[in-house]
Structure formats: structure tokens, C-alpha cells
């Protein structure tokens, strides 16, 4: 048994709110009745009403809500494996893990926002092979795959402290990404679009990214660049192992180091390769535009792979939920002998 949309289980928080609403309503009704007269008079006035039946109607509704929320999360069971081909392209994401990506001019930080937006992008893709190049002064790589969950897991807990060398070598990252795509092309198969998605603040400190962009252009590889950060500059936090900010980075002269978005380099890389440069701001990240651009690129079939298809069982929950709602609507609150 599995849930296709477990994130919807947060809707179960409406259940205690609903129970509380019923309790408050019953309490208010009792208080209002007590203002009408003596206990004997109130007893005669409410003699035909069954408190147990009122509680039963409330239980019907609360149980129906629980079942409907569980049905929305799409429980799935069983399943069978079958060979399936999907159409896709080759995409390598080059994500900047330098310390400047810890700047917080984009909430919660440049790096964390980039991770979240990339995960959202992958949730809308299907069949595309995705590789990852995490870079600072050197690179860490994950080979292209259609297992998006594994890619997300690779970078989820990765941070600047995990990189072997500091700095920002955009050219080196692009070169590794190009090499990954060339190896995929050498394996044969039909020609498909190959794309590099570069996310960085653009401050290259030790490489020649434009030269690598020329090589990518000769190979027909498009590079889409996403600039993260502000043009005015932002202080770079110094964080400890648990991510708590303990200060801000200073240079050898004791002055605070700022990181500003270097747009010229990123726009030139995109222009040389036929890609597109996109800039983020606190309200708009730009991944939606990347997704729209990727939709228009050429896709071919991947090698057949085993895909497990699960049987939907949410209907089993909807039927009793419907019957409970009907029962709640039809149930009487009067005692049997007083109908």
C-alpha cells in the first residue's frame, strides 16, 4: 500500500477543527437553554431531542471527512511491472554550491530556493534524463537518470561545506556537464535535444565559462542560465554545521565580503548557445520559463524500462464516505418514541 499524494494528508488537520466546532456548538446551545428557565422546564422542552443522535450525526460527518481526505491522497495497492518507453531529452543541472549561495537576498537562501524550485521543475517533467553537477571550486556529479527521486536525494542535504574546494568555477562545471552529455550521445540512439541548466549567482572566480559555452554551441547543446541574487550585492553568511548563522565572511583586510549577481557572463553564455538567461527575484524564480522552453525541444524515446503500475483503491473509501454523508443528512435527532 502506498499514497500517490501523501502531502495532502495535512488536510486531516480539519478534523480536530471540525470536532472543536461541534463541541463549541453543543456548549453554546446548552448555555442558551439554561437562560430560558428552570431545569424541569428545559427538560420538558428538550424531551423529544436525543443528544446521542446529535452526537451520532456529528460522528458521521467527521468520519466522512476523514475518508474523503484519505481518498484525495490516492491510496494505491498491488501493482504490476511492465516495460514502458517514454519520450524525453537529456538535461544536466549545474547548481552552484559556493558559499556565496548562502546569501539570503532570496528567501530562505539562494541555494535552498534553487533546490526547491528544481524539485518543482522535476515534478512537471516525465521521461527526461537528468544529471547533476554540484560545483564550487571543484565538482561533484550524479549521472543522468530518469529516477528523479534519487537526484533529489543527492542534493537535498548537500551544502557548501561538503564541497572539496571553495570558489566558483562556472567554466569547470559547464565542461563536466558537456562531457556528461557527450558520453550519452556516444552511446548511440536517435538524436535528441541536450540542455544544460545553470543556476548560480554568476561570480566566476577561476575559470573561463565563455570558452566552454563556445564548445557547447558547436555541439548543439543549449545552456539556460538562471541568475540568483541581487544586483546591489549581499553579505555572505558564515554558518556552522547545523546551518545557524554565526557571522558574515570578511576578507583579509577585515572588510565584509558581498556577493552580487554577475549577469553579463550568464547572459553571454546563454546567447552563445541559443539558450536563454533568466533572473530571479523574491517573487519570481524563473523556472516556469525554463519549463516552457524545454517543452518546445525535441524529444525521442528512451530505452524501455520496467515501470510499476499501481492499482487505485481510493474508490473503496469514497463509497462509505458517501453513505455516511447520506446517513448524516437523513438521521433524525428526535427520540424514537417522540416522532
- Where are the CATH 3.40.50.410 domain residues in the chain? 86-301
Per-residue pLDDT of 38-72, as tens digits, reads: 666 666 666 666 777 888 888 989 999 999 999 99
8 A C-beta contact, residue 42 and residue 33:
yes
- Per-residue pLDDT, 68: 93
Which one is predicted more confidently, 335 or 232? 232
Per-residue pLDDT of 289-305, as tens digits, reads: 778 878 777 666 555 45
Torsion angle, alpha carbons of 123, 2, 312, 127, to 10: 30
Per-residue pLDDT of 169-180, as tens digits, reads: 999 999 999 999
8 A C-beta contact, residue 92 and residue 196:
yes
CA 103 – CA 260 distance, rounded (Å)? 10
Select the highest-mean-pLDDT range: 28-42, 109-123, 189-203: 109-123
Q: What are phi and psi of 153, to 5 degrees?
A: -65, -35
> What would the mean pLDDT of 149-173 be, rounded to a whole number?
88
> What would the mean pLDDT of 195-209 be, rounded to a whole number?
84
Q: What are phi and psi of 136, to 5 degrees?
A: -140, -110
Measured CA to CA in angstroms, residue 117 lies from 88, 169, 191, 195, 280 at distances of 20, 22, 28, 17, 11
Domain 86-301 sits in which CATH superfamily? Answer: von Willebrand factor, type A domain (3.40.50.410)
CA 294 – CA 315 distance, rounded (Å)? 36
> What would the mean pLDDT of 195-204 be, rounded to a whole number?
88
Q: Is the dihedral of CA 118, 119, 124, 125 positive or negative?
A: positive
- Per-residue pLDDT, 117: 86
Lowest-confidence range among 14-18, 85-89, 269-273, 326-330?
A: 85-89
- Per-residue pLDDT, 38: 66
pLDDT surpasses 80 at 99: yes
Q: How confident is the model at residue 275 (pLDDT cuts 50, 70, 90)?
A: very high
8 A C-beta contact, residue 232 and residue 208:
no
CA 126 – CA 74 distance, rounded (Å)? 20
> What would the mean pLDDT of 313-336 be, rounded to a whole number?
84
Amino acid at each position: 500500500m502506498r499514497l500517490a499524494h501523501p502531502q495532502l494528508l495535512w488536510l486531516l488537520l480539519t478534523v480536530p477543527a471540525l470536532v472543536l466546532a461541534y463541541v463549541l456548538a453543543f456548549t453554546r446551545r446548552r448555555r442558551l437553554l439554561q437562560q430560558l428557565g428552570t431545569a424541569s422546564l428545559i427538560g420538558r422542552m428538550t424531551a423529544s431531542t436525543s443528544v446521542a443522535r446529535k452526537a451520532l450525526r456529528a460522528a458521521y460527518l467527521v468520519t466522512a471527512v476523514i475518508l474523503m481526505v484519505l481518498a484525495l491522497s490516492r491510496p494505491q495497492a498491488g501493482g504490476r511491472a511492465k516495460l514502458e518507453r517514454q519520450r524525453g531529452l537529456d538535461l544536466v543541472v549545474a547548481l552552484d554550491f559556493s558559499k556565496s549561495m548562502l546569501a539570503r537576498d532570496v528567501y530562505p537562501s539562494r541555494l535552498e530556493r534553487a533546490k526547491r524550485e528544481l524539485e518543482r521543475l522535476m515534478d512537471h517533467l516525465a521521461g527526461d534524463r537528468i544529471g547533476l553537477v554540484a560545483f564550487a571550486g571543484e565538482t561533484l556529479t550524479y549521472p543522468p537518470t530518469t529516477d528523479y527521486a534519487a537526484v533529489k536525494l543527492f542534493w537535498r542535504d548537500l551544502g557548501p561545506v561538503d564541497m572539496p574546494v571553495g570558489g566558483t568555477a562556472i567554466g569547470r562545471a559547464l565542461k563536466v556537464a558537456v562531457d556528461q552529455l557527450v558520453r550519452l550521445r556516444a552511446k548511440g540512439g536517435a538524436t535528441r535535444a541536450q540542455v544544460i541548466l545553470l543556476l548560480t549567482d554568476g561570480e566566476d572566480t577561476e575559470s573561463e565559462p565563455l570558452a566552454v559555452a563556445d564548445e557547447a554551441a558547436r555541439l548543439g547543446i543549449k545552456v539556460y542560465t538562471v541568475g540568483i541574487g541581487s544586483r546591489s550585492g549581499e553579505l555572505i553568511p558564515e554558518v556552522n554545521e547545523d546551518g545557524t548563522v554565526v557571522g558574515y565572511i570578511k576578507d583579509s583586510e577585515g572588510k565584509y565580503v558581498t556577493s552580487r549577481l554577475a549577469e553579463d557572463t550568464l547572459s553571454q553564455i546563454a546567447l552563445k548557445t541559443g539558450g536563454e538567461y533568466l533572473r530571479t527575484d523574491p517573487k519570481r524564480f524563473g523556472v516556469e520559463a525554463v519549463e516552457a522552453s524545454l517543452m518546445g525541444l525535441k524529444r525521442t524515446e528512451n530505452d524501455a524500462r520496467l515501470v510499476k503500475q499501481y492499482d487505485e483503491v481510493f474508490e473503496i473509501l469514497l463509497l462509505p464516505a458517501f453513505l455516511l454523508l447520506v446517513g448524516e443528512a437523513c438521521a433524525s435527532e428526535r427520540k424514537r418514541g417522540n416522532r
